[in-house]
Structure formats: structure tokens, C-alpha cells
Chain A
Amino acid sequence: MKTYMLPEFIIERSDERCIRCRVCERQCAQEGHWYDEELDVMFHNEETCIGCQRCVVFCPTRALSVRPHPSTYRPNANWTREKLQDLKKQAETGGVILTGSGNDKPYRIYWDHLVLNASQVTNPSIDPLREPMELRTFLGRKPDGLDLKVSEDYEDVEIRSELYPNVMIETPIVFSAMSYGAISYNAFKSLAMAAKEFGTLFNTGEGGLPKSMREEFGQNTIVQVASGRFGVDPEYLNVSAVMEIKIGQGAKPGIGGHLPGEKVSINISETRMIPEGTDALSPAPQHDIYSIEDLSMLIYALKEATNYEKPVSVKIAAVHNVAAIASGIVRAGADIVAIDGLRGGTGAAPKIIRDNVGIPIELALAAVDRRLREEGIRHKASILVAGGFRNSGDVIKAIALGADAVYIGTPALVAMGCTLCQKCYTGKCAWGICTQDPYLTRRLNPEIASRRLVNLLRGWSHEIKEMLGGMGINAIESLRGNRDHLRGVGLEEWELNVLGVKGAGE
């Protein structure tokens, strides 16, 4: 069938600059460029270009530019170019439209409507270059109080309370779940290396943890137990720092996952413990969890399997009654509640779901933190939030709204090279991240990629320290849930109420 779709991108090559080196041809994973030896001309194919910018970055003479295709339909606020293109695509394929990355629709981004406080006169700001500034964070359940036995001279103190397992991280930022299979081994390993170097955590996603990585990176790993139970064995659980039961994902609440058989190489099949070349299908629900009691049983099964030495996290998508669900999760015995918002990323999801299901993480976080406090159980679980954090400003605002720490996925991918082309599901990532093609994965060097990731964590942590110091705070825990340091700008009354934040000037 002849396609009626317009090309998405236009490729422009300056023939004056082009030296026919064919780098673009080799770098493009979409066969966007080719060389005709007889004519000594470089050609390109706009039909297949996804605008990943790989060729542009790597062209040694800066001969290339790739930008949105100028051809357009008659402008129409209702029937946008994207809507029309989707209709044509479906008319041609009859399928569900797939996409990758996070929701790109202009839902209100509350972070951009929240501003932070700073000290003036009555309270000195603190200079992080001269004074200690502490970001260390503990994830896990805290007791109601401590029972201590103190000697007569107050010198010797015995802790008598039972303590719950907690994991210490050096910055309130951890890497989100991205499975080996969805992303390449090199990308996966880069995340692990960076987490270890910086003293934080990465999340295996639902694809298991390769045996070769267990000893070295186990203590920086959140291992996921998802509906497909891929890669779950006792050792996987026992080497980890945290275990996470994945109920839902912000990009696709209510549905499962699908890793096509072509991606299930020998290594992935070993790690996931499924035959090579078979589709890895994660069902929509966990079929042993149809209720909160069932969840509790799985939580305790995992704790039992690991001698009650590790916190258990339960990850859900932010949906309408997220506060009540989170409360149930804490009461079911979870030590961490992870909430993934409307803008959370994915390797593959039906576009219609990614763009229409779930609620923004800001509102979900505010509601959950409030509910847990009202019920007097906020200390019984840490709150980890995910879904669309773009910079350290978003992170620190989330902490002030009540989060213990933040999951970042997209920023980590971008740090490694990702340009948010949203074609992760095609398995042809020119940046070597979201692919299993050895020709492509080889281009991602874990030594270099992990350095980029560490730099990102370092940069954000420095910025958080600057902002904390400005507020006259020298430890992140004193900002946690401290909404007094936030003000809303351009928000409606109901939004301020849900966020529990005053309007600027109020």
C-alpha cells in the first residue's frame, strides 16, 4: 500500500562541506544515508529518518542538519499534524500505535508552577562551599521511636528497639527501572557502574540481573519482581540492596509489557530464564496479586526469602485514587512506595495509553504524602517518585513536597546520548542504548557512558546543595515534606489545595 504519510524530518546536507566520508551512512540505524560510488554523491532517505540526530553529531564537517519536515497539512488546532499522521498510519496498518519515552503532551507541568524559598536577614543562608551540606538519604521503614538503654553517665547507649532494614544513598536520586533487554547490556552496565561510583542505586527493571554483574553491583541494585517474574531466583533477591514489586508503570498504567523474540538473545535468555528467541510477555496484572492481601503475601514471601534483611518497594503508576492505594501498600508491609507519574518513560507502550492514562506525579505525590501523614504511617515507608524529572529543580521540589528520593530514567538516557526520538520500541537505537544489535550496542562504551552519568549526578547534587543552602538548610531531611519552602505561581485554587502549597505572596 502506498503510504500517505508525510516524512517527519527533512535531512539537509551541505554538499560544499561534505567530504564523502560516509560516517553518516555508518551511524544511521535507519538506512537514512547511502553513497553512490559512481556519481560520488551522498543520498539520503527522509522516509525512514526518525530525527535521532546521530548523523548530525557525528558528521566531521558539520555538513548535516535534520529538522522537522516543513511540509504540513492545513493548520488546524483540533486536527493536528500528529493526529492526522496517526490516523493515516492506522489506516495503513490496522494496529495499535506504539511509541517510546514519556508522555509528550502539554499537560500542566506543576514543577514549572512551583518556586522555592531563600533566606533573607532573619535566617542566614549557608554557603555549601564552606559548610557541610548533606544529601545522604535512607530508604526503608523507620520505627515509631527508639528504645535506648543509657548508662548512668550517659556515655554508653544500647539500642533496644528492633530496626528495619534501610538502604543508604548519597544523593536522593536513583536510576529508574530499565531492563536488560529493553536496553543494551552496555547501557545497563553503565547505569550500574555510575550508581556504584556515586553511592546510589539503579533498578534492574523486570529483566533480571546478569550473573556476571551480581557480585560487583548487587549492593547498588534494586531488583524488580514483575508480572512475568523474569530472572527471579533466590540469588537475584539476595544480592540486591532493595527488592521491588512492580505493579504498574506511569507510561502504561494497567497494561503489561512485551519484549519481542528477536531481542531475546542468548545472554538475555539466560538472564531472563526463558528460551532464546521467545517473546517475553509480562501480563498486565501480577496473576498472584488480585488484592491487597495478595500483595502482602508476596511482600512477605520476598522478605522471608531474604531473611528480612532488605527493604521491599512496591511500584505503582499514579492513578486517580493513588493515595488510598499507597496507604494500603504501606499497611501491606512495603518499606518503600514507588509512584510513577503520567510523564514516566517507557521502552514501548501503546501511544493512546501513554498519552491518556494516569495523573501527574506532582499531584500524586502531594496526595500520597498527605494521606500517609494523616494516617500516622508516613515514617513506615519511604516515598520514591518517578516520571518526568528534568533537572535538579524538579528533584528538590519533589523532596519539599514530601518525596524521600526521586527515580530518574529519561535524564539518564539523555546523558548517555538519547535524543528522545521515541523510537525505542523499534530496537534500532542509533545511540546503542535501546537496542540489542551488536553493531549498535558496541558504540556505547560503559566507561564513558558511566562517566557521563556520574557527572549528571554530581551536577544535580551540587545544584541541590546550592538551593538547600539558600534556604538556610544544611541537610536534605530538613526539606523533606517542608512545603513551607514552596509557593505556587499561576495555579488554580484546587491545585494549590491538593499540593498543600500557598500561592506566591500568600
Chain B
Amino acid sequence: MRFEINRESERHLPDKDLQACGLFGVMNIEGKRFGGEMAIKAIVNMRARGNGLGGGYAVYGLYPEYKDYYAMHIMFQDRNMDAKKKVDEFLSRNFDIVYDEEIPTNPEARVMYPPLVWRYFVAPKKKGEDAKFSDDDYVVAKVMHINTSIEDAYVFSSGKDMGVFKGVGFPEDVAEFFMLDELYEGYMWTVHSRFPTNTPGWWGGAHPFSILDWTVVHNGEISSYGTNRRFLEMHGYYCTLFTDTEVMAYAVDLLMRRQGLPIEIVSKIFAAPMWDLIENMDEKKKKLYTTLRMVYAPLLINGPFTVIVAHHGEMFGITDRIRLRPITAGARGDLVFLSSEEAAIRAVSPKLDLAWTPRGGEPVVVRLKRKDHLMSLKESV
């Protein structure tokens, strides 16, 4: 659930969610699109990592026919039509809506409390003051508005040529509900299975968590949450979900989208090398890593986590610096896989050219038309 926030003192902020999870991601690095079967089959293989209280998918290369428009997937809790009316009005005021429709669903699927989920393809309609915003920042502001101000409405995703499908249930049930194996294709899929220790029946709380075309699926329980959250607040990101994932997503947005740092650097901020290691680097590297740790100390992500972050053309996976959560990578032909478990990769591709386990804090970066994922091979365990 989202929370009404009393900011008189931060002691009124809710506690954050605790959860464990299974993650999987696959990309065709030549950009060839494929269906949802692999993602579904892989996550089913890791059933024990979820408990049926959340599953979700992010698909890239989803809407080639509308690829110039922001695709908004918006859910309406309890099929609240009043909320839908407000969103429709809000969107038509601020965007040109090129096309919209209900996302087709299968009523037979075993999911709990399905909301109404709608998709809109929109182009920003910036007026006056707004002109100084980039399109992306404009969209972010509008998404934040819907999420925080229109009750019962929540934006699943808001990027171009991509979309998030998620809900409460096992991931295979969510896939069945949205008919992912029949209706959609993409060149990259990430998927998440959730094991929350509390029981929110709210679809917005499932992963992937997304803003613009960025999606985050995450497994972990970060002990630096409070420090991270406060730093992000200082940069204008107000957490409303109180999950580690939200913090990760905002940190990625701040560092990668707003400050333009590549993941090779960002991973060294999230999972900074130990000082002992830094001491032994050559002078130039030593200076770089010392500076990174000094400047971005509040964004060190401490405690166990694995995260797979994706946006167009790029997907990366990383674990915390002392590797308290698992991640495995695999490659076969043009397909590159990231997963919580190797077994899940083998379930969809029994034969692999490569399979490796990266070291703690060492990112596996998968990019379109590049072989960057091989960089992490030499750093594997």
C-alpha cells in the first residue's frame, strides 16, 4: 500500500517491507524479439523463492508500432472508475493521448483481487513553465502526481516501447492473467517472484518497480535503507512505498539518468570495493575509488541484495559487496541470461556456451550489440 505520510517528524514514516525473492532476466543482444515463455519457465523453476504474493514482468521492444510515445500502464484498484475518470482527465490535460485501451486479461487466471489495468500511449503537452523540463522529467513529475494524488490509481510503467505487467499471485498466474506468452514479444524480459513477510494485497507493490523505461527487480534486505532514503530525499525523491526496491530504483535514476554515470561506475557506488582493496590499486584507480566512496557514501547499499536493472539496450545484475545474495549469469548464442539460480537458466536453455557466478559487487552488464557481459567473466568466482 502507499502511505499517507506525516512529515512532521520522520518517526511517523512507516517501516519498510521485508522480503526475499527470485529474479531472472534475458536479453537477445542482437535485438531479436521473442515471447514470454523463457521468462515464465525460468521463474516457475524458482517457485520456492516466491510465496504467491507477487510476480511481475518487464518487457522491452514491446510496442514497436508506438515506439515514439510514452506507454503508460496504469492500474485502478478495485476497478475504481472514478479514479480512472480522474486519470483520464489528468492525462488529457497534460498529454496528447494517441491511443488507449484496457490491457486484455484472462479472467480464468488464479490471481487475487485483480484491478483494472489500462494502457495509454501519450506524448507530453508541455505548457508555460513546464517547457523548461525535459520530456523525461515532465513524465516523471506527472507519474509522481498520479501515484501520490489520485487515490486507487498507480502507474506500473511509463517508458517508451516497453511495459510492466505485475500483480499479486505466483508469476506464472500473473503471466496467465495478462496472457504474456500469447500476446507479446520483446528483445529483453526481466521477471520477479516475491516472498514478502507481510501480506499486502496491492498490485502496485509487486515488482518490477519502474519509472520511465527503467525497471528494477530486487531481492534483499538492505540495512542501509534509512541512510539511502534520506540522501535520495535530499535530491527530491520521496519514497511512498517503503521498499528497498523503491530506494534502488531512485538511486539508479539519480546516478544513471540524471547524473549520467555508467553502470560500471554505479556498481562501484552501490557495492563499493573494500578499503583494503582500494589501498592496493594503482594511483589513478585509488583516487577514483576513494573519491567515489567519499562522495557517494550515502548510496553504498549495505546488507544482502541482488538486483537486475534494465532500460532500453541495457540490463545489468549485481550483488552486494560481500555476496550475501546469489546471482548467476549464462550465455547461449545471442541470448544472455541473469538469474538468482543457474538451474533456472538451465531450465530454459539446458546447453550454455558460458555460465558464471560474478564476484560480490562485480556487475554483469548486458548491452545490445556489445559483448560487455564478458567483462565480468574474468571477475567470476
Residues of A within 8 A of B (CB): 119, 122-124, 126, 131-132, 134, 136, 138, 142-143, 145-146, 148, 150, 154, 157, 159, 163, 166, 370, 373, 376, 378-379, 471-475, 477-485, 496-503, 506
Contact = CB atoms under 8 A, between A and B. Distances in A.
Interface in B261-318: 261-262, 264-265, 272, 274-276, 287-288, 291-298, 300-304
A122 B221 contact: yes
Nearest to A163: B291
Contacts of A481: 226-227, 230, 298
A157 B268 CA distance: 13
B259 A145 contact: yes
A150 B256 CA distance: 13
Interface residues of B, number: 51
A192 to B, nearest CB: 24
B297 A485 contact: no
Contact of B295 (A126, A146, A480, A499): A146
A159 B9 CA distance: 38
Q: Which 8 A-B pairs have the closest CB atoms?
A: A478-B224, A482-B226, A478-B302, A484-B226, A477-B297, A497-B9, A123-B221, A472-B223
Contacts of B18: 122
B15 to A, nearest CB: 8
Interface string B1-44: 00000001111000110101000000000000000000000000
Contact of B264 (A119, A123, A150): A150
B234 A497 contact: no
Interface string B223-245: 11111001101110000000000
Nearest to A487: B11
Interface in B188-236: 197, 221-227, 230-231, 233-235
A131 B274 CA distance: 10
Given A119-B223, A150-B264, A482-B230, 19 more contacts: A122-B197, A123-B303, A134-B274, A138-B294, A142-B294, A154-B264, A154-B375, A159-B291, A472-B221, A473-B302, A474-B322, A475-B272, A475-B302, A477-B293, A479-B224, A479-B227, A485-B226, A497-B8, A500-B9
B20 A122 contact: yes
13 contacts: A134-B275, A145-B259, A146-B259, A146-B292, A159-B291, A166-B294, A370-B10, A373-B233, A379-B231, A479-B227, A481-B226, A483-B10, A496-B9
B81 interface: no
Contacts of A378: 230, 234
Contact of B227 (A122, A126, A482): A482
A484 B324 CA distance: 21
Given A159-B291, A166-B294, A498-B9, A124 B324 contact: yes
Contacts of A482: 224-227, 230
Best-surrounded residue of B10, B259, B296 (most CB of chain A within 10 A): B10
Contacts of B300: 475, 477-478
B50 to A, nearest CB: 15
Contacts of A119: 223, 303
Contact of A499 (B11, B272, B292): B11
A450 B197 CA distance: 50
A379 B227 contact: no
Given A159-B287, A501-B11, A473 B223 contact: yes
Contacts of A132: 274-276
B284 to A, nearest CB: 8
A148 B265 contact: yes
Interface of B: 8-11, 15-16, 18, 20, 197, 221-227, 230-231, 233-235, 255, 259, 261-262, 264-265, 272, 274-276, 287-288, 291-298, 300-304, 321-322, 324, 372, 375
A493 B324 CA distance: 38
A159 B292 CA distance: 10
Contacts of B298: 379, 477, 480-481
A145 B295 contact: yes
A481 B231 CA distance: 9
Contacts of B372: 154
B302 A474 contact: yes
Nearest to B278: A136
A480 B297 contact: yes
A30 to B, nearest CB: 49
B108 to A, nearest CB: 35
A502 B63 CA distance: 46
B300 to A, nearest CB: 5
B275 A136 contact: yes
A472 B274 contact: no
The listed residue with most A CB atoms (<10 A of its CB), out of B20, B226, B288, is B226
A500 B10 contact: yes
A57 B291 CA distance: 49
A477 B228 CA distance: 10
Nearest to B18: A122
Contacts of B222: 123
A142 B292 CA distance: 11
A131 B303 CA distance: 13
Contacts of B8: 497
A478 B295 contact: no
Contacts of A373: 230, 233-234
Nearest to A134: B275
A408 B259 CA distance: 38
Contact of B304 (A123, A142, A485): A123
